[in-house]
Structure 1
Amino acid sequence: MATTAVLSKGRSTDAVASSVQPGRIARVEILRDMAAAEPIWRALEQPEHLSTPYQRFDFLNAWQRHVGAAEGVAPCIVIATDAERRPLLLLPLGLERRAGIRIASFLGGKHPTFNMPLWHRDFARTADARDIAALIAGLRGQSGADALALCQQPLHWRNLPNPFALLPHQPSVNDCPVLRLEPGAPPSDRISNSFRRRLKSKEKKLQALLGYRYAQATTDEEIERLLAAFFRIKPVRMAAQKLPNVFADPGVEDFIRQACLSRLAGGSRAIDIHALQSDDEMIALFAGVADGERYSMMFNTYTLSDAARFSPGLILMRSIIDHYAELGYRRIDLGIGSDDYKKMFCKDWEPIFDSYVALSPRGQIAAPALAAIARTKRMIKQSPALKRMAQKLRSALQSKGGASSTEEASN
């Protein structure tokens, strides 16, 4: 097994550790500081290992700094190592108190579509139930958590099974629509010729605008300008949909701005922005994360001007799909949820799962309760009648100033 990094025995950190014997995990260490975990974190997020772009250090560090800390979330970064102190996985958790129960869940709140540990690839290939049991044993009594709430996990990533699927689990509240791309396949395989013709006809109207163009934002100045337009337009769009403005929550705008401006190795950003623009305005914007194989959308909006009549969001989505297909990407997803525009592009559904694990006597009560709440939410989402009732109730509460939902607009 190749060595990625070795835990420093002399490192001064706020950490607790537990020696465990089963499987190949020899030690579980918990760091309470993001910076202390950074060297190992960055080593495990390299392409030769296994992780999603939502668990990059730059992404989650920005979230914890601007959002997590304000919400009372304390970092609980779990690092499992072998007998030679070589990192096998990093589990980026945050610890918070809910109704008197200490819950550890993935950092990032509602913003990641997918959550997963960062795995040493060789270990991920062969991890078994003994290894997962060793990890959980290392957390009991050491993490300070009563229960784990590990939500929105992919069953597979980069064609490897997610070892956390060995834990007891259930389907997540939402599935994720996905478009699978075959390298070398004709454009009509990803978007039909008839759909392309309809979009091309609409785009001719936009092409009459001075300076009309599609591009991925690359400079800080362009990113700042597009984000300024996004944060001006998005609240208006969400109000029109009778949805709460999740982007007005404390710290969210600063988190998104920092992540969009953060440069990764190679010059890419923690969050990529794609946009249709003219010389006068931002016409449509999509932002998401990319890792060389998959593009995953996070948020979007489109102009308030008359140009909105010509489906700029769909035109931009077509351009993004073609862009990543030409780069050899294998999958594109538009985030969780079943919005109609996602069904226009995404032909398949990708199941994602949740695991609720008790770590203490209190957790023995809390974990099943959390699992039951999630199953109820999924049942509502899966039933059109129940979903309509929930939406009406949410609208009524919002009109009275009582809404506290943080659901994404795409849900």
Structure 2
Amino acid sequence: MTMAAVIERRTAEAPARSRDSRIASVEIIPDLASAEPAWRQLEAQGQLSTPYQRFDLLSHWYREVGARENAAALVVVARDGERRPLLLLPLVLEAWHGLRLACFMGGKHTTFNMALWDAEFARQATLADLTALLAPLRAQSAADVLALTQQPRHWRDVLNPFALLPRQPSVNDCPVLAIAPGAAPTDLLSNSFRRRLKGKERKLQASGYRYHVASSDADIDRLLDWFFRVKPLRMAEQKLPDVFAEPGVEQFIRGACRAPLPGGGRAIDIHALECDEEVIAIFAGVADGARFSMMFNTYTLSERARYSPGLILMRSIIDRHAEQGYRALDLGIGSDDYKRMFCKDDEPIFDSFIPLTLRGRLAAPAMSGLNRTKRMVKRNQTLLNLAQKLRHTFR
């Protein structure tokens, strides 16, 4: 029996079970089309969610990647007594070593995972509300474990209510650059670093390069055609697996980059440096008016790579978003050297493994321990080197 068939029998609305909660009902929805109206409502201005949880991004991921991997949609919507949505959990149900895991949609392509919240409700949410949310999931045995990873502790200065649940630090940190209102360019990047980039930039000037954000479908298609030619070569150069070659990933990225947002822009924005002869570098990411988060990038294989075009493009992106009043910028999880050049702080992100069934009570501590071990290895250079050697050997 497929995962989708299991969920299909559990679509009835289930009453929340706490009189102390504003949540009056919880609905478990097995398809994105039925969940879309509540989803769109919770994306509206004044609500609280990250741009990674936009319907226009995750619907492309689910159709092109999640469904190919036999993941089944499991969207959880909590409503108040007047049927207004208070929160939406965009989950999929996956099989893992004989267990049913409910995980956030987006897989490895989302840096941050979070529910979509009514902002007022998020600010006032209590443990009683979360208990009311989880009760129907436990009652219906919709999954064995809620594996909720890479959640930001705060978003737009509001505490993520899921931080009230048992939690632990995520495997990886996320370097972040905080942008104070009215910050001078030298507050964001030091004068010495800017001078270094200026020297490299002068050498690129001979190419007559330009910086821009792709706005037309034709520009988006052209830049992605280049990206999918160059990125596999860069990944092979670094002896890394090419995640962009996995089934459906290219179609997901192309669809999300072209998906228009109601207020303008695209679900994924592409920033580029180009000259007449070639594309020099691109950085693509998500933005919500307050924060830019990078998703993927690459740079040219030509001699122009000697002039650090990726760093020059990143500086341009930072300056652009600072001028637009953004408050933060991140380059995704991981502590690559180039990320630390720009982002000196770390975003607190956490994981929660919540058991929903008896089997889940046995599995959740093991999953928690596995992630703690991974985090420890990432922070011990000797263990990390050993793990990388073993991975290369078995590959």
User: What interval of TM-score do these two structures reach, taking the shorter chain for normalisation?
Assistant: over 0.9
Q: Distance in 1 between matches of 2:191 and 2:9?
A: 58
Contact 1:13 1:36 in 2 (8 A): no
Task: Output the amino acid matched with 2:47.
Answer: H
Q: Does 1:45 align with 2:67?
A: no
Residue equivalent to 1:333: 330
Residue equivalent to 1:386: 383
Task: Output the amino acid matched with 2:230.
Answer: I
Runs of 4+ in structure 1 off by over 3 angstroms are none
Per-residue deviation at 1:16? 2.5
Q: Distance in 2 between matches of 1:329 and 1:201?
A: 27
2:161 to 148, 160, 163: 163
1:75 to 70, 73, 78: 73
Per-residue deviation at 1:100? 1.1
Q: Distance in 1 between matches of 2:151 and 2:260?
A: 26
Q: Does 1:371 align with 2:371?
A: no
Q: Does 1:321 align with 2:318?
A: yes
Q: Distance in 1 between matches of 2:288 and 2:198?
A: 29
Task: Report the TM-score when normalising by structure 1.
Answer: 0.92
3-state SS of paired residue (2:108):
coil
Per-residue deviation at 1:143? 5.4
Residue equivalent to 2:64: 66
Residue equivalent to 2:174: 176
Q: Does 1:290 align with 2:287?
A: yes
Residue equivalent to 2:5: none
Residue deviations 1:232-260 (CA, integer Å, cap 9, x gap): 00000010111011000000000000000
Q: How many pairs does the alignment contain?
A: 386
Residue equivalent to 1:15: 11
Contact 1:13 1:33 in 2 (8 A): no
- Aligned positions of 1:140-289 closer than 5 A: 140-142=138-140, 144-209=142-207, 211-289=208-286
Per-residue deviation at 1:13? 11
Contact 2:141 2:357 in 1 (8 A): no
Per-residue deviation at 1:318? 0.2
Residue deviations 1:68-109 (CA, integer Å, cap 9, x gap): 001111000000011121110000000011111111010000
Contact 1:14 1:33 in 2 (8 A): no
3-state SS of paired residue (1:103):
strand
Residue deviations 1:253-292 (CA, integer Å, cap 9, x gap): 0000000000001221000000100111110110000000
Contact 1:217 1:273 in 2 (8 A): yes
Q: Does 1:301 align with 2:292?
A: no
Consecutive unaligned residues in structure 1, runs of 5 or more: 1-11, 399-411
Residue deviations 1:153-178 (CA, integer Å, cap 9, x gap): 00000010000001100000011100
Contact 2:125 2:161 in 1 (8 A): yes
Distance 1:286 1:240, change over 3 A: same
Task: Output the amino acid matched with 1:315.
Answer: I
Q: Distance in 1 between matches of 2:387 and 2:218?
A: 41
Task: Output the amino acid matched with 1:15.
Answer: T
Per-residue deviation at 1:207? 1.1
3-state SS of paired residue (1:110):
helix
Residue equivalent to 1:403: none
Contact 2:226 2:279 in 1 (8 A): yes
For the aligned residue pairs, the C-alpha RMSD in angstroms reads: 1.2
Task: Output the amino acid matched with 1:331.
Answer: A
3-state SS of paired residue (1:338):
coil
Q: Distance in 1 between matches of 2:107 and 2:184?
A: 38
Task: Output the amino acid matched with 1:298.
Answer: M
Per-residue deviation at 1:47? 2.5
Residue equivalent to 1:104: 102
1:130 to 117, 128, 140: 128
Consecutive unaligned residues in structure 2, runs of 5 or more: 1-7
Task: Report the TM-score when normalising by structure 2.
Answer: 0.96
Per-residue deviation at 1:397? 2.1
Q: Distance in 1 between matches of 2:28 and 2:269?
A: 31
Task: Output the amino acid matched with 1:103.
Answer: L
Residue deviations 1:183-215 (CA, integer Å, cap 9, x gap): 112110001111111101101111111x41011
Q: Distance in 2 between matches of 1:239 and 1:143?
A: 43
Q: Distance in 1 between matches of 2:168 and 2:382?
A: 23
3-state SS of paired residue (1:47):
coil
Task: Output the amino acid matched with 1:20.
Answer: A
Equivalent pairs: percent with the same residue? 64
Q: Distance in 2 between matches of 1:301 and 1:14?
A: 43
Task: Output the amino acid matched with 2:339.
Answer: K
3-state SS of paired residue (2:266):
coil
Residue equivalent to 2:4: none
3-state SS of paired residue (1:145):
coil
Task: Output the amino acid matched with 1:265.
Answer: P
Distance 1:17 1:236, change over 3 A: same
3-state SS of paired residue (1:68):
helix
Residue equivalent to 2:90: 92
Contact 2:183 2:322 in 1 (8 A): no
